[in-house]
Structure formats: C-alpha cells, structure tokens
C-alpha cells in the first residue's frame, strides 16, 4: 500500500523482549486518532522480530508488545492517508520497552480535493464539465452542465483539503443561482434546473461578475516534506454554493457551505 514506511535496519539479534507504547493524535486538530493500525517493522531481523502491530483505542493509545530488544524498528502505517511527516519515525527497544507518541497528518498520498469530517476522509466527487453561452452584454457565461441535487455540505468542523500543487492552483468561484430556464417548445416545454453560473450574476440582460472572498492559494497550508494540503473551513466563506475550477476552465467540483 502506498504511504507505508518500511523498516530497514536491524541492529542485532533478539534479546529480552520489550514493547512500544504511546498515543496517536491528529497533528491538525490535536484530537485522538482511534482505530488506526500502527506497525513497528524491522524486515531484516529474524522472523520473530520483524513486525508487530497494534490498533489505537478510544483515547488514541496503543501498545505494540513482544518486540525484540536490541532491534531498531521503523514505523509503518496501515492507512497510507495518514502521514507521519517527512522523516522516518524510528525507535530502539530494550527490555524496559520504549514510548513513542505520534502526531500524524491526515493528508492523502494522492493529490486532489477531499472532504474531511473528523478523521473520515472522502474524495470530493461532485465534478461536472463546464459549458458556455454568449450573453447580450458581450462575453460569455460559464455554467456546470450538471449539478447534483445534494452537494456535500461544508459546515461545523468539516473541511475541504486541497492536496498537492495542482489542487492548490484551482480557482474558487461562487455558483450564482440563475433564473429558471425552459427548453423545448410551448407545447412540450422542458424545464432545466438547478441552474447556476460560475462567478456571474446574470438575469438575461445585465451581467455582474462575483468573486469568492478567498482564493485557494491564500488558505492555510498544513504538512510539509513533499506532502502538503491547504485547508478550507466553513467559516472561510459565506453560506452558498461554490465551485473549484480547473486552470483550463473545463471542469468544476462543487461544494455547499452551510450556516
């Protein structure tokens, strides 16, 4: 699994067994990380010394028992979307055991847009192609071809993570609800909705550009060492719908900011 940090160094044979214990917290929020499998590995050691695993409890605590004394272990994480920082985390075990508290970042290894609710992570999959139409005042209006009936709600402690340089370079634009449209004929009308324009308030005659109050590049950055993310919180934007627009303005991913 991508994101695993493998142990590489064996410093000796198995002496008196020991253990590693500690707590695991979210580096961004300070909250305990529960239900995470933490492994200490020394693959070049004898078979009985190679890997020990433990799962964090309700307070973020863990105990990895029966590690071999005199062996240097290196941390690996079963969930590659948790990240321990730029440098490998290592620990030496003796008969008294060792303590290693871990502060981990919840930053996916694959770049993109993610909705993070506590420690639950999911990709933001509300993408649509962008279409255009000319407007009487000149120029054109851009709009998503499809808008899901229910967009992900950004409220409370939920945040959007913009992971990697490509995601952090996206433009953020408000989705402005438009007047109802009807296609087809008078005998067979076909209402179209929901309907919204990107960064434009347009009533059919007058057009007024509307900008989002923040830009992704101005959002706080977390992480480092080759894995970074910018964090968009509900409080960063007024309530409404917004779109993350690609540089070529071909696609948009949408989210709704709640009260």
* Contact assessment for residue 80 and residue 42, using Cβ atoms and an 8 Å cutoff: no
pLDDT in tens, the chain (259 residues): 333 333 333 334 455 578 999 999 999 999 999 999 999 998 777 777 788 899 999 999 999 988 888 888 999 999 999 999 888 899 988 777 899 999 999 999 999 999 999 999 999 999 999 999 887 777 888 999 988 888 999 999 999 999 999 999 999 999 998 766 665 667 776 665 557 899 998 765 678 899 999 999 999 999 988 899 999 999 999 999 999 999 888 999 999 998 6
pLDDT score, position 195: 78
Sign of CA dihedral 241, 220, 38, 60: negative
- Do 47 and 84 form a contact (C-beta atoms < 8 A)? no
pTM above 0.85, yes or no: no
Per-residue tokens: 87 = 């440098």
**Joined tokens for residue 230:** 């910018």
Q: Are 253 and 146 in contact (CB under 8 A)?
A: no
- Tokens 């303005």 locate to 249
Q: Find, among 69, 165, 87, 157, the residue nearest to 119 by Cα.
A: 157
Q: Measured between alpha carbons, how far is 72 from 16 in angstroms, rounded to an integer?
A: 14
Identify the residue whose tokens are 């290693």.
100
pLDDT number for residue 97 = 82
Compute the distance between CA of residue 190 and CA of residue 182 in angstroms, rounded to an integer: 5
pLDDT in tens, 135-144: 777 788 899 9
- Residue 6: predicted pLDDT: 30
Q: Give tens-digit pLDDT for 174-214.
A: 999 876 666 566 777 666 555 789 999 876 567 889 999 99
Q: Output the pLDDT for position 11.
A: 36
Would you state the pLDDT for residue 192? 57
Specify whether the CB–CB gap between 214 and 238 falls below 8 A: no
Query: What is the pLDDT, as a whole number, of residue 12?
Result: 40
Beta bridge partners of 73: 91
């Amino acid at each position: 699994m991508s994101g695993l940090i493998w142990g590489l160094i064996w410093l000796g044979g198995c002496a008196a067994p020991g253990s590693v214990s500690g707590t695991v917290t979210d580096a961004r929020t300070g909250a305990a990380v529960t239900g995470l499998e933490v492994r200490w590995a020394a693959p070049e050691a004898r078979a009985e010394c190679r890997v020990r695993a433990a799962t964090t409890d309700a307070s973020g605590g863990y105990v990895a028992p029966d590690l071999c004394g005199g062996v240097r272990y290196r941390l690996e994480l079963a969930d590659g979307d948790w990240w321990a920082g730029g440098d490998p985390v290592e620990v030496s075990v003796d008969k008294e055991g060792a303590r290693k508290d871990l502060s981990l970042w919840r930053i996916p290894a694959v770049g993109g847009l993610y909705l993070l609710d506590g420690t639950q992570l999911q990709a933001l999959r509300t993408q649509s192609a962008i279409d255009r139409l000319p407007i009487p005042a000149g120029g054109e209006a851009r709009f998503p071809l499809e808008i899901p009936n229910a967009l992900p709600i950004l409220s409370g402690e939920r945040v959007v993570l913009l992971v990697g340089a490509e995601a952090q370079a996206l433009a953020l634009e408000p989705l402005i609800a438009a007047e109802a449209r009807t296609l087809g004929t008078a005998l067979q009308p076909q209402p179209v909705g929901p309907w919204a324009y990107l960064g434009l308030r347009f009533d059919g005659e007058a057009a007024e550009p509307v900008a989002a109050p923040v830009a992704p590049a101005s959002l706080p950055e977390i992480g480092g060492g080759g894995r970074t993310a910018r964090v968009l919180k509900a409080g960063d934007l007024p309530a409404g719908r917004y779109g993350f627009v690609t540089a070529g303005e071909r696609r948009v991913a949408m989210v709704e900011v709640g009260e």
